[in-house]
Amino acid sequence: MMRALQTLVMALACLAFTGVLATSIWTISGNPTPVNLTQLLTENMGRSGVEHPVTAVLLNFRSYDTLLEIGVLVIAGIAGISMAKTASLEDPAMRTSDSLLYALQRWFVPLMLVLAGYLLWAGADRPGGAFQAGAVLAATGVLMRLGGSPMEFLRPGLMLRLGLALGFTVFLLVAVASAIGGDAFLAYPPGMTKALIVVIETVLTLSIAMVLLALFVSAPVNDAEDPEEGAPS
Amino acid sequence: MVEWLLDGLLVLALLVTAVAALWSTNLFRAVVVFMAFGVLMAVAWVRLHAPDIALAEAAIGAGLTGVLLLDAVSHLGSHSLEVQKQRGDRQ
Amino acid sequence: MTTPLLYALAGALLCGIGLFGLLWLRHLLRKLLAFNIMGSGVFLVMVGLPQHQSGPDPVPQALVLTGIVVAIAATALAVVLIRRYYHLSGMSSLEDEPSPRGDDPE
């Protein structure tokens, strides 16, 4: 009875929320926009250093968001790793070693690595970029992990720390360097824009892949192996 | 007209998969339906002229999230009976 | 009524479904699924609404791209936390109930 009442109240609240949201969307959709962002963007595309508008927004006009985003990712990665037991990070005998998966992996891993490289390179003038390439790279790593590849670089040590922090560090260094050079924080020096964007995208790809892979790997394996930690006492 | 039909069906499929992912009786099936939801979202991004998001959603929503959640489901499912029994013994 | 507006309204509905699921469901993984569906709804609103007003707009698209990557990182962290919680307590829901609804070990 209590539960049914609770459900009813929740359902009504959610219906009210959806109704208010939909009404406000309907109202806003009728009004014209005060600022035309698209026009501002097309006017300034020449200064951005890349040809694809989404990449220009991500890494030039709104690069502050991207900097904070990679910061959030690094924090999430560190939190995930600190939650893991060292055993699950170092575990040399992986979870599954299926012969079908192994055969599939031999075909897919090189293909996916090429795809990640292409996506990164394509980001300058057509859909693609650091985020998609990072996701594909992380998926490659997950596939290799499931197939039982050793993946030495995921053990706690220099490589893991370097890989996690690389993207954020390089991005922050560029930002601070331009601030020290007398320009605004995160304003790229003229003439070097394209080169800097490519460098930042490359390290971002590596870092995003590393964070996602570390979060996948650091999930605690199971409690059957060490009963003393599973005891809730 | 055909485009409206396509969009309407796509939106309907999104809503149905969302509901099915949340209220399916089996947790494994829920995660698989959620992966289907991710693929449908990728198609929706293509219809909204956002190929960048479609690429990211296809790689993340359908691939990475699915693997993560399936891994978690197999972990949470396979040991639940055993742990229940252990807890019962201890009490 | 244009196509992007249809998607924006669908996003609002997805938000509502996700919110209800987040509140009502007991199993933590299901709550996580509901949270992700709510996020997808927000992304649809963010892209659909500006596009209805002034054509395809790269600025919200870039923001949503950032949002998707942060959402997957948050999901992965949540999965780590849920597995840790389950590992320590043997429960897969927050309430102190022996068997949460829908906890089918399959």
CATH number at residue C71: 1.10.287.3510
| Helix intervals (H) in chain C | 3-24, 28-54, 58-89
List Cβ neighbours of C90 (8 Å cut-off, separation of 6 or more): A230, A232, B80, B83, B84, B86, B87
Question: What are all long-range contacts of A186-195, with beta carbons under 8 Å and residues at least 24 apart?
Answer: A186/A63, A186/A64, A186/A67, A188/A49, A188/A60, A193/A47, A193/A48, A193/A49, A193/A60, A194/A49, A194/A50, A194/A124
Note down the domain range covering A170.
52-220
pLDDT at A229: 42
Q: Which residues of C touch A83 (CB under 8 A)?
A: 80-81, 84
Query: Nearest Cβ partner of C9 from A25, A208, A229?
Result: A25
- What ipTM is given for this predicted complex? 0.84
Dig out the tokens for A14 from the structure: 């959610």
Would you say residue C105 lies in a domain? no
Contact A139 B59 (CB under 8 A): yes
pLDDT at A230: 40
Task: Answer whether B21's CB lies under 8 Å from B30's CB.
Answer: yes
How many domains does one find in chain A?
1
Q: Kindly report which listed range (A103-112, A155-164, C41-50, C88-97) carries the lowest average pLDDT score.
A: C88-97
List Cβ neighbours of A126 (8 Å cut-off, separation of 6 or more): A52
- Which residues 22-81 on chain B approach chain C with CB closer than 8 angstroms? 22-23, 25-28, 30-31, 34, 37, 41, 44-45, 47-50, 52-53, 56-57, 60-61, 64-65, 68-69, 71-73, 75-78, 80-81
Dig out the tokens for A233 from the structure: 């006492």
Would you say residue C96 lies in a domain? no
Dig out the tokens for B55 from the structure: 């690429």
Q: How far apart are alpha carbons A216 and A141 in whole angstroms?
A: 10
A79 by Cβ neighbours in 10 Å (0-12 / 13-18 / 19+) ranks as middle
Note down the domain range covering C7.
3-89
Contact C87 A223 (CB under 8 A): yes
User: Can you state the angle between helices A193-217 and A130-147, rounded to 10 degrees?
Assistant: 30
Task: Answer whether A178's CB lies under 8 Å from A187's CB.
Answer: yes
Phi-psi region of C25 (alpha: psi -120 to 50; beta: other; left: phi over 0): beta
Would you say residue C16 lies in a domain? yes
pLDDT at C103: 45
Look at residues A48, A195, A207, A193 and name the one whose alpha carbon lies nearest to residue C59. Answer: A48
Dig out the tokens for A95 from the structure: 């979870």
Residue C100, pLDDT > 50, answer no
Residue C27 phi, psi dihedral angles, 5° rounding: -65, 135
Look at residues A116, A62, C4, C53 and name the one whose alpha carbon lies nearest to residue B45. Answer: C4
Task: Answer whether A167's CB lies under 8 Å from A203's CB.
Answer: yes
Does C68 contact A at CB distance below 8 Å?
Answer: yes
Chain A nearest-CA distance from C37, in A, is: 14
pLDDT at B62: 81
Query: Nearest Cβ partner of B68 from C27, C44, C76?
Result: C76
pLDDT at B78: 58
pLDDT at A232: 43
> pLDDT by residue (tens digit) across B36-52?
999 999 999 999 988 88
Look at residues C43, C59, C35 and name the one whose alpha carbon lies nearest to residue C11. Answer: C43
User: Can you state the angle between helices B27-47 and B2-23, rounded to 10 degrees?
Assistant: 150
Task: Answer whether A74's CB lies under 8 Å from A207's CB.
Answer: yes
Using a CB–CB cut-off of 8 Å, the residues of B that contact A are 51-52, 54-56, 59-60, 63-64, 67-68, 71-72, 75, 78-79, 82-83
Note down the domain range covering B46.
2-90
How many domains does one find in chain C?
1
Percent of all residues in chain C with a pLDDT value above 90, rounded to a whole number: 49
Chain C nearest-CA distance from A192, in A, is: 22
Does C105 contact B at CB distance below 8 Å?
Answer: yes
Would you say residue A65 lies in a domain? yes
Nearest CA in chain A to B50: A127
How many domains does one find in chain B?
1
Measured at the alpha carbon of residue A225, what is the angle toward residues A222 and A82, in degrees to the nearest 5?
A: 55
pLDDT at B91: 42
Q: Which residues of A touch B68 (CB under 8 A)?
A: 216, 219
pLDDT band for B31, please (50, 70, 90 cuts): very high
Look at residues A193, A69, A178, A194 and name the one whose alpha carbon lies nearest to residue A134. Answer: A69
| Tens digits of pLDDT across chain A (233 residues) | 788 888 899 899 999 999 999 999 889 888 877 777 778 888 887 777 788 888 888 888 888 888 999 999 999 988 888 877 655 555 555 555 567 777 888 888 899 999 999 998 888 788 888 889 999 999 888 888 777 666 667 777 778 888 888 888 998 888 888 888 777 777 777 778 888 888 888 999 999 999 998 888 876 655 444 444 444 43
pLDDT band for C75, please (50, 70, 90 cuts): very high
Distances in whole angstroms, Cα of residue C105 to Cα of each of A98, B28, C85 = 23, 9, 17
pLDDT at C102: 44
Look at residues A59, A96, A85, A86 and name the one whose alpha carbon lies nearest to residue A193. Answer: A59
Chain C nearest-CA distance from B22, in A, is: 6
Look at residues C45, B17, C51, C24 and name the one whose alpha carbon lies nearest to residue A22. Answer: C45
Would you say residue C28 lies in a domain? yes
Q: How far apart are alpha carbons C90 and C101 in whole angstroms?
A: 15
Contact B80 C103 (CB under 8 A): yes
Nearest CA in chain C to B71: C79
Q: How far apart are alpha carbons A103 and A198 in whole angstroms?
A: 34
Would you say residue A32 lies in a domain? no
Would you say residue A133 lies in a domain? yes
Does C59 contact A at CB distance below 8 Å?
Answer: yes
pLDDT band for C38, please (50, 70, 90 cuts): very high
CB pairs under 8 A between A and C: 137
